[in-house]
Structure formats: C-alpha cells, structure tokens
Amino acid sequence: MEHGYRIVSSNIYMIFQKDTRTFDYRLDAGPLEFLNFVKYAKYCIGRSFHLCVFSLLFRKEFQMADGLIDARNRELAESLWGDVERLSKAGDNDMIVSATDYTAEVETRFRDLRESSLLFLNKALNS
C-alpha cells in the first residue's frame, strides 16, 4: 500500500489462487459488486473482457494482462484507438490504457459506437 490504496481482488469463478500475503482483501463479487469495484477503482488490472469493457465505460486507467491477444479486447480497442500497438507500452501483449489515452477522438468514437449499438438494439427489438 505504497500509495495508500487498498487492493481489492475479485474472482467470481475462483479460477486462480490468491497469495494472501500480497492481497489485503479477498472479496468474491456478484455483478453489482463487480461493477462497483470497477466504478470506484483508481486503477484496474485483470484479464477478463468484462473488466476491459467496464473499465472503458467508466473511463478508468487499466491494464489487461495479454489484452492484445484476446480477440474481443483487441477488436474493442481497435474500434476506439485504431492502432492498438500503441497501447502496448511495455512492448508485450498487455494492453495499458492511461488517462491520456481518453482523447476527444476516442470520446467521439465512444459516442458513435453507443449510437450504433442503440440503433441495432432498437431495430432488433422492433422487428
């Protein structure tokens, strides 16, 4: 806790074992708790597509371990940033999104994607 932040570990499916010496808190989370963990986090680190999506929606700084290998994460990032290789700041397959990556251009793409998604849903529901 060098910066005074507590580490919250959420593992819905209990796939990985936690080192209790490293993590101060071990919390299992349902959907509401998961969304609140992301919403109120200062920084998110993980591997799941859902963490990627909600980190983006809440405009969080985050790191996705091997995020550029996962096709869904990569496609989502490409739709916002185009060249996603720039998100690999360490030169590996991790996808790292900083506060400065949320530019006006990215916000415009967010808006366009949201509008396109709403049109798709409306069309599907009214057909």
Alpha helices in 17-103 (DSSP H): 31-39, 49-57, 71-81
Say if residues 63 and 45 touch (Cβ distance below 8 Å). Answer: yes
- Amino acid 11: pLDDT: 60
Rounded-to-integer distance, Cα 110 and Cα 17, Å: 35
pLDDT of res. 22: 58
**Average pLDDT, 10 consecutive residues per value, the chain (127 residues):** 66 56 62 90 91 95 91 94 87 91 96 97 96
- H or E element that contains 119: helix 104-125
pLDDT of residue 14: 53
Burial track 100-121 (b if 16+ CB lie within 10 A, e otherwise):
ebbeeebeeebeeeeeeeeeee
Angle at which helix 104-125 crosses helix 71-81, to 10 degrees, equals 120
Q: What is the pLDDT of residue 1?
A: 46
Predicted local distance difference test score (pLDDT) of residue 95: 93
- The C-alpha angle with vertex 89 and arms to 46 and 83, in degrees rounded to 5, equals 95
Question: Which DSSP category does 84 fall into?
Answer: G
**What is the model's pLDDT at position 86?**
87
